[in-house]
Structure 1
Amino acid sequence: MIEELKVKMPILVMLIYFPAQVLSMLFAPKLGKIADKVNPVLGVAVVSGFGALATWFIINSTSGLMFGFILLFDATFAWGGNLILQNVLSRISKIHRGKVFGAAQWLSLLGAVLGPTLGGLAWDSLGPSAPFMISIFIELSVIPLYAIAIISLKPYMAEKVD
């Protein structure tokens, strides 16, 4: 982003990124209420689709302000998807709930390590937009995987999932 938007001071990237993340977290309680009411398969599809679209807009942003504004939406969609999945996982029977939350946390932490590592390698070898294109591909690829997983987990739910 620094080269693409011709940012002279790298601290500006942080000043753009930080408010978008804080604001998206402030929207989380409202998103949680929506996540409780929405069909999880439909919710994941919508959130992932809009997240991919927001990432596409980030790639094509032309200013730091535009980048920050779009990043707010992208981060909000990410929080929304996370809340929908947590809602589904919290309905799994008590016998398996701890294992499922542990596995979900492990996968999240693995993604937190692999994402920046592979994204940095893609940036260096394929160009500045490559990590974002990979992110779009992943966001769209997980829609059918999450749909299959949610439908497959329905028999093991302690509470009904729509």
Structure 2
Amino acid sequence: IGFFVFSIAFMISSMNRDLAYPFFQVYLIQELKIENPTLVMLIYFPSQVLSLLFAAKIGKIADKINPILGIAVVSGLGALMTWLIINSTSGLMFGIILLFDSTFAWGGNLVLQNVLSRISKIHRGKIFGAAQWFSLLGAILGPILGGLAWDSLGPKAPFIISIFIELSVIPIYAIAIKSLKPHIAEKLD
């Protein structure tokens, strides 16, 4: 039951990531009035590349801390960054905040991968495959829900919904990790 709850939380996290992700560039163009496509790319692209570099550092920390604490911290900070993004007033501010938001998202993913890798030594591939399946299902649902929210509630709606989902997934992960702990093959702090 713990793995099922963890997989559902994994799907919700993936859905959350893809709920707002497709709308960052459109948000820059429509809300911050940055109409030059090159400038949009210069704001958006570096944050994505740099976040991957910084996430490796967060991954080293993620291996050493309690996963529930790690999820709570990166989800809380991610929600804060998303709130700051929709309240940013310039492209530069948007890009800097997006760098931190993306870094926390990658860091959270590394915490989750750490938990997944410890569930079973024998069935590790099956576990990662099942988690990937749930993640891809979330990646399908996220943009659909984000698009519906954008069209019916306005341009900030996917981001606001993302904040609430990011915070609500913390207790789901806590329940899943606590229920998995007795059955984990490798020690989980």
Same fold (TM over 0.5): yes
Q: Are residues 1:80 and 2:102 paired?
A: no
Give the Cα–Cα distance (whole angstroms) in 2 for the partners of residues 80 and 106 of structure 1.
20
Identical aligned residues as a percent:
81
Q: CA deviation at 1:93?
A: 1.6
Tell me the residue number matched to 1:93. Answer: 120
Deviation track 1:56-88 (CA, whole Å, cap 9, x = no partner) reads 000100011000000000000001100001011
SS in 1 for 2:164: helix
Equivalent of 1:56 in 83, 86, 99: 83
Moved more, 135-144 or 27-36: 27-36
How many equivalent residue pairs? 162
- The two structures have a TM-score, normalised by structure 2, of 0.82
Contact 2:55 2:104 in 1 (8 A): no
The root-mean-square deviation of aligned C-alpha atoms, in Å, is 1.2
Q: Which runs of 5 or more structure 1 residues have no equivalent in the other structure?
A: none
Q: Which runs of 5 or more structure 2 residues have no equivalent in the other structure?
A: 1-26
Q: Are residues 1:120 and 2:147 paired?
A: yes
Equivalent of 2:69 in 31, 42, 47: 42
Tell me the residue number matched to 1:4. Answer: 31
Moved over 4 A (4+): none
SS in 1 for 2:63: helix
Q: CA deviation at 1:112?
A: 2.0
Q: CA deviation at 1:97?
A: 2.5
Q: Give the structure, 1 or 2, with the largest relative contact order (CA under 8 Å, sep 6 or more).
A: 2
Tell me the residue number matched to 2:171. Answer: 144
